[in-house]
């Protein structure tokens, strides 16, 4: 399947999670075996060009695509989660939201100095979470090989928060 064929499977859900928001529902991509296989293949082809050592998958839908990609590329995958969700020692970074701040974290042994990481998530919207992961990788001495996303909400211009980094998206809205 091509990205154009996959794109038509994404469903708009008006007024979710709150009035005025049009949510892009990716669950049809997961329930369509051919689409999910194609997404994994397309992400894998893009990932290979960046010669990464490991994957950092962002909570929670990024875990789905990150795990499939890790399996395909035979790379280790580490979880990036909201504060307080990981059981061992962590490193975290605080980042700005539209109204306030939040934290993300990884296990302290996940990011190693000099290693190259792919950041994987389902959607890039404002780019805040991915930029926070990039900051966390840099603070631990790692290198950001690329950020890979299935969807990009272009009208939110989240890519600009990742200036200077490789950003790959399979399809844009």
Task: Please write the tens of the pLDDT for every residue from 52-78.
Answer: 999 999 999 999 999 999 999 999 999
Is the CA virtual torsion 17, 159, 117, 33 positive or negative?
positive
CB neighbours of 152 closer than 8 A, spacing ≥ 6?
123, 124, 158, 159, 169, 171, 172, 173
pLDDT for 170 equals: 97
Q: What CA–CA distance (Å, rounded) separates 105 from 60? A: 13
Q: Confidence band (pLDDT; 50, 70, 90) for 27? A: very high
CATH topology of domain 51-172: Rossmann fold (3.40.50)
Query: 148-171 pLDDT, tens per residue?
Result: 999 999 999 999 999 999 999 999
Q: Residues with catalytic annotation?
A: 61, 98
Domain ranges of the chain: 51-172
35 Cβ neighbours under 8 A, 6+ residues apart: 1, 5, 6, 9, 28, 29
pLDDT of 100 reads: 81
- In this predicted structure, the answer to whether residue 116 has a pLDDT above a threshold of 80 is yes
Residue 98 has pLDDT above 80, yes or no: no
* Residue 121 CB coordination number (10 Å): 26
* CA separation for the pair 24, 14 (Å, rounded): 9
pLDDT of residue 99: 74
Q: What is the pLDDT of residue 96?
A: 85
Return the exposure string of 32-46: e unless at least 16 CB atoms fall within 10 Å of the residue's CB, then b.
beebbebbbebbeeb
Here the tokens at position 1 are 């399947």
């Amino acid at each position: 399947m091509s990205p154009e064929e996959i794109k038509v499977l994404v469903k708009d859900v008006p007024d979710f999670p709150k009035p005025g928001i049009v949510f892009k529902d990716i669950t049809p991509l997961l329930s369509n075996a051919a689409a999910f296989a194609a997404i994994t293949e397309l992400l894998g082809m893009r990932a290979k060009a960046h010669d990464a050592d490991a994957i950092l998958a962002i909570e929670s839908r990024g875990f789905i695509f990150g795990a499939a990609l890790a399996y395909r590329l035979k790379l280790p995958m580490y979880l990036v989660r909201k504060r307080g969700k990981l059981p061992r020692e962590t490193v975290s970074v605080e980042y700005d939201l539209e109204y306030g701040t939040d934290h993300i974290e990884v296990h302290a042994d996940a990011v190693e100095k000099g290693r190259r990481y792919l950041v994987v998530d389902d959607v890039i919207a404002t780019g805040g979470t991915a930029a926070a992961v990039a900051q966390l990788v840099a603070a631990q001495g790692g290198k950001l090989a690329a950020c890979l996303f299935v969807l990009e909400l272009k009208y939110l211009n989240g890519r600009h928060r990742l200036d200077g980094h490789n950003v790959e998206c399979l399809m844009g809205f």
